[in-house]
Amino acid sequence: MQPSVEWNDLRYFLAVLREGNLVRAASRLGIDPTTVGRRVSALEERIGARLFDRTPEGWIATPAGRRLEPSAARMEDAAAAAEREIAGADARPEGVVLVTATEMLATRFLAPHLGRFATKHPGIELHLLCTNKLLNLGRREADVSLRLSRPKEENVVAKKLTTIPLALYASSAYLDEVGRPADPEKSLAGHRVLLFSESRAFESENRWMLERMSDARVVLRSDSVSSVMSAAVGGLGIALLPRVVGDAEPRLERVVTRSAPAEREIWQSVHRDLARNARIRAVTEFLGKVLGPVDSPRGKRRG
């Protein structure tokens, strides 16, 4: 008789397979690494096959592990579909809703409005997942997603909420110390510049900035827009930031240029099976109101 393997056994296997080590897998599952390692070892013992090679670089799937992956993924999809069917039938605006967003969207665009949401919907508990990683709505890694590009995932209901104009900013203290660029449209020569990480997510913004980097010095790169903004506020240098938050920060001044990078778009998406769920609908309707089209405050300019 073949040993029985339940979905709960395979959750740990898939997490380690996708993350490559116990710490990241444990973080994904919300438990401690020791438990993950113990559960995977117990699964290996139950089926009589080693699923991972434990190496200093991480846990690498063996041939047996790679053969198990498609079956485990199918069980995961079936379990997620069952959860969505149950959740989608819930007509009460109560329970937990997982919202994933980038750090900047979460901290600067969404979090300041959550007090109003809690007052209106006291039965809903929001879990805000701040990450640049694309979480899988079909697998219930999140219920609602806020991203800066149109979602490509299947079976989701997507809606563009607004666009985000961008501009150059520096702190008043920095500009008083170093001076303003003579012609920032053409060059930021002589200035310290803050860029985003070299990734496709920031390709448009970095390309626009690099066109103005002649004789300028890069002093920071980061995949966190919030970190770049905080560094600019602290006087590190000139940064490209969303106007709606840069103009609202009294310690920053806009460095005026005639052009700007293409505006970013905020897209909201939810799995089709959950779109009519009462608590999900309460969240998406609220997001549509607070993240809908807005006018950026007038930039602060001197000189």
Q: What is the pLDDT of residue 161?
A: 94
What is the distance between the alpha carbons of residues 81 and 76, in angstroms, rounded to a whole number? 9
Is-contact 103 130, C-beta < 8 A? yes
Every domain range in the chain assigned CATH 1.10.10.10: 7-88
Q: What is the pLDDT of residues 174-196, one digit of tens each?
A: 999 999 999 999 999 999 999 99
In degrees, to the nearest 5, what angle opens at C-alpha 271 toward C-alphas 266 and 272? 115
CATH no., domain 7-88: 1.10.10.10
Instruction: Give strand pairing partners of 252.
Output: 171
Neighbours of 280 (CB within 10 A): 25
Q: What is the pLDDT of residue 298?
A: 39
Q: What is the pLDDT of residue 73?
A: 87
C-alpha gyration radius of the chain = 23
CATH no., domain 166-255: 3.40.190.10
Q: What is the pLDDT of residue 81?
A: 73
Q: What is the pLDDT of residue 61?
A: 92
Q: Which CATH superfamily is domain 96-161+264-290 in?
A: Periplasmic binding protein-like II (3.40.190.10)
272: tokens are 């089709």
Every domain range in the chain assigned CATH 3.40.190.10: 96-161+264-290, 166-255
Q: What is the pLDDT of residue 296?
A: 42
Report residues of the chain scoring pLDDT below 70: 1-5, 84-91, 293-303
Q: What is the pLDDT of residue 87?
A: 59
What is the distance between the alpha carbons of residues 96 and 30, in angstroms, rounded to a whole number? 15
Q: What is the pLDDT of residue 79?
A: 75
